[in-house]
Amino acid sequence: MRRQWSRRASLSASLKIGDHRGHCRTPEEEESYIPFAQDSLVRQWNSMQNVADGKQEKSQTPIQRNKYLLNINVGGKLFQIAYKVLARYPVTRLGKLALYTDPVKKLQLCDDYLVQKNEYFFDRDPSIFHYIFHFYRSGVLWVMDEMCPSNFVEEIEYWGIHLKYSQRCCRILLEEKRDELSEYLKIEKQLEAELEPLESGTQFDGKFLGPFRKMVWNLIENPYSSVPAKIIAVMSSFFVLISIVGMTLSTVEEMKNKTGKMWMEQMEMICAIFFTSEYLMRLISSSSFKNFLRAAFNAIDLVAILPFYIQILFENLDDGDMQYHEELHKVENVSKLGKVLKLIKLMRIFRILKLARHSTGLRAFSFTMRQCYQQVCCLLLFIAMGVFTFSALIHSVEHDVPGTDFTSIPCAWWWAAVSLSTVGYGDTVPDTILGRMVAFVCISFGIILNGMPISILYNKFSDYYAKLKAHEMSQSLQLSRRIRLKERVLRKFSECWGADPRYYR
Q: How far apart are CA 342 and CA 336, in angstroms?
A: 10
pTM (2 decimals)?
0.54
Q: What is the CATH number of the domain that holds 242?
A: 1.20.120.350
Print pLDDT tens along the chain (505 aa): 444 433 333 333 333 344 434 444 454 554 444 443 333 333 444 444 444 444 444 444 444 556 788 889 998 889 988 888 888 888 899 999 888 888 888 889 999 888 888 889 999 988 888 888 888 888 888 887 777 888 888 888 899 888 888 888 888 888 888 888 888 888 888 777 766 655 555 666 667 777 888 888 888 877 777 788 888 888 888 888 888 888 888 888 877 787 888 888 888 889 889 989 888 888 888 877 787 888 878 888 888 888 888 878 776 765 444 444 444 444 444 456 666 767 777 777 878 888 877 777 888 888 888 888 888 888 889 899 999 999 999 998 888 888 888 888 988 999 999 998 888 787 888 888 998 999 999 999 998 888 777 777 888 888 888 888 887 777 666 655 555 555 666 676 677 665 544 544 4
Looking at residue 483, what is its pLDDT? 55
Both 376 and 471 in one domain: the answer is: yes
Both 219 and 348 in one domain: the answer is: yes
Looking at residue 429, what is its pLDDT? 86
Both 273 and 374 in one domain: the answer is: no
Residue 220 located in a structural domain: yes
Both 234 and 159 in one domain: the answer is: no
453-488: burial string, b at 16+ Cβ within 10 Å, e else: eeeebeebbeebbebbeebeeeeeeebeeeeeeeee
Q: What is the CATH number of the domain that holds 367?
A: 1.10.287.70
Q: How far apart are CA 396 and CA 390, in angstroms?
A: 10
Contact partners, residue 477, CB within 8 Å, separation at least 6: none
Looking at residue 196, what is its pLDDT? 65
Looking at residue 55, what is its pLDDT? 46
Both 387 and 432 in one domain: the answer is: yes
Q: Which amino acid is at 105?
A: K
DSSP at 141? B
Both 298 and 393 in one domain: the answer is: no
Q: Which of 205, 152, 198, 195 is nearest to 175 (CA)?
A: 152
Q: Which of 128, 161, 193 is the last residue of a domain?
A: 193
Looking at residue 353, what is its pLDDT? 80
Both 346 and 392 in one domain: the answer is: no
Residue 275 located in a structural domain: yes
Residue 302 located in a structural domain: yes
Residue 46 located in a structural domain: no
Residue 268 located in a structural domain: yes
Both 106 and 154 in one domain: the answer is: yes
User: 434 with 397: CB under 8 angstroms?
Assistant: yes
Q: Which of 135, 161, 193 is the last residue of a domain?
A: 193
Q: What is the CATH number of the domain that holds 99?
A: 3.30.710.10
Q: How far apart are CA 17 and CA 330, in angstroms?
A: 97
- Count up the domains in the chain and report the number: 3
Q: Which of 130, 164, 193 is the last residue of a domain?
A: 193
Both 130 and 180 in one domain: the answer is: yes
Q: How far apart are CA 157 and CA 147, in angstroms?
A: 15
Both 375 and 484 in one domain: the answer is: yes
Looking at residue 392, what is its pLDDT? 92
User: 190 with 367: CB under 8 angstroms?
Assistant: yes
Looking at residue 40, what is its pLDDT? 38
Residue 310 located in a structural domain: yes
Residue 52 located in a structural domain: no
Both 380 and 352 in one domain: the answer is: no
Enclosing domain of residue 240: 210-320+331-358
Both 370 and 478 in one domain: the answer is: yes
Residue 387 located in a structural domain: yes
